[in-house]
Amino acid sequence: MSLVIPVYNEQRHMADCLRAIARQTVMPIEVLVVDNNCNDKTIAIAQKYSFVRVLKESRQGQVFAQASGFNVANGNLLGRIDADSVLPPDWVERVTAHFADNSKTVALTGSSEPYDLKPRRAAALLFNSFHAGVAHIFTGQVMLWGSNCAIRRPAWQKIKAQVAYRTDVWEDFDMSFLLNKYGRVEYLKKLRVACSYHSGLQSIGQQVSYQYRAVRTVKLHLGWLRSNLFFIAWFSLLFFAPAVATARFFNRRTSSSS
C-alpha cells in the first residue's frame, strides 16, 4: 500500500499523524505527503520522518494534491488520509487484508471519532450517521471519506480522467460515484480513525458554504431531483447549530486555559 496525505498548513497535526503511521503493525511501502503550498512548519515536520517522501502540488485544492499523490504512487493499493487523521496501529494491515479477501471491492472507507470535540461519542454518532446513513440512503451508494479510505490503483487509473478537478465539490464523494461503476465501494464501520473535527467548529456561514459542496457533487452525478432531496436531508445538520456553538465555546475555553 502507498499512503497519500495531502497537506496545507497542518503543523498542528502532522507529527501525530506520522507517529501513528510509524506504529503500524504492517508499514505501507511508501508515505507520500503532498505539499499543497504550505507556508508553515508542516513540511519541515514531515521531513523528520525517514519513511516520508514529500511531493509538491502548486495547484491549490485537495483534489489536485490527492491526484498528484495517486499518480506517482507505486502501491497496488492507494490509502488516503488527512494530516489530522490518527490511524489505529493495525489500519494498514486490516485494509490490505480486506482487499485481499474481497476481489470485487475497488474501494473502502470507515468511520471516525473526534479527538478535539466534546462530547466525543455524540459528535462521532452525528458524523457517522450522516456520512454512512443519510449520504448512503439518498445517493444509493457508499460515499468515501477522505480521512479514512483506500482504493485499488487500477481503479484510480480508470477514473482519474473523469474526476471533477474543481474545488467547489467534495473530491471524495466525486470519486465514490465514479468508482461505483467498476466494482464495490464498501463502508467498514469498525475501521475507525481518530481525527480532528475542527472544520465542524467553523461559523454557521462557513459550514453552509462547505457542506453545500456535498450537494453540488450529488447534483453533478445524479441531477436536480436527487440533489434537492439530498439537500433537505443533509442540511438538517443545521438543527445541530446550537450544539456546535456550545462545543465551540467549550473548546475556546479549553484552549485559552491550556
Whether the Cβ atoms of residue 201 and residue 117 lie closer than 8 Å to each other: yes
Position 192 in a domain:
yes
Position 153 in a domain:
yes
Task: Compute how many other C-beta atoms are within 10 angstroms of the C-beta atom of residue 119.
Answer: 12
Q: What are phi and psi of 78, to 5 degrees?
A: -115, 100
Position 257 in a domain:
no
Residue 249: predicted pLDDT? 56
Position 85 in a domain:
yes
Position 138 in a domain:
yes
Q: Which of 7-21, 56-70, 193-207 has the lowest mean pLDDT?
A: 193-207
Position 136 in a domain:
yes
Helix (H) or strand (E) holding 235: none
* Closest listed residue to residue 218, CA positions, set 151, 140, 108, 107: 140
Tens digit of each residue's pLDDT (9 = 90 or more) over 140-197: 899 999 999 999 999 999 999 999 999 999 999 999 999 999 999 999 999 999 998 7
Confidence of residue 258 (pLDDT cuts 50, 70, 90): very low
Half-sphere exposure (Cβ direction) of 187: Cα atoms closer than 13 Å:
18
Which comes out higher in pLDDT, residue 34 or 242?
A: 34
Residue 231: predicted pLDDT? 81
DSSP of 68-135: HHHHH--SSEEEE--TT-B--TTHHHHHHHHHHH-TTEEEEEEEEEESSSSSHHHHHHHHHHIIIIIH
**Cis-peptide into 28, omega within 30 deg:** no
Whole domain around residue 188: which residue ranges? 2-200
Tens digit of each residue's pLDDT (9 = 90 or more) over 101-136: 999 999 999 998 888 766 677 667 777 777 777 888
Position 47 in a domain:
yes
* Model confidence, pTM: 0.89
Position 61 in a domain:
yes
In the chain, the number of structural domains is: 1
Pairing relationship of beta strands 184-195 and 105-114 according to DSSP bridges: parallel
Tens digit of each residue's pLDDT (9 = 90 or more) over 36-92: 999 999 999 999 999 999 999 999 999 999 999 999 999 999 999 999 999 999 999
- CATH assignment of the domain containing 179: 3.90.550.10
Half-sphere exposure (Cβ direction) of 29: Cα atoms closer than 13 Å:
10
Mean pLDDT, rounded, for 192-204: 75
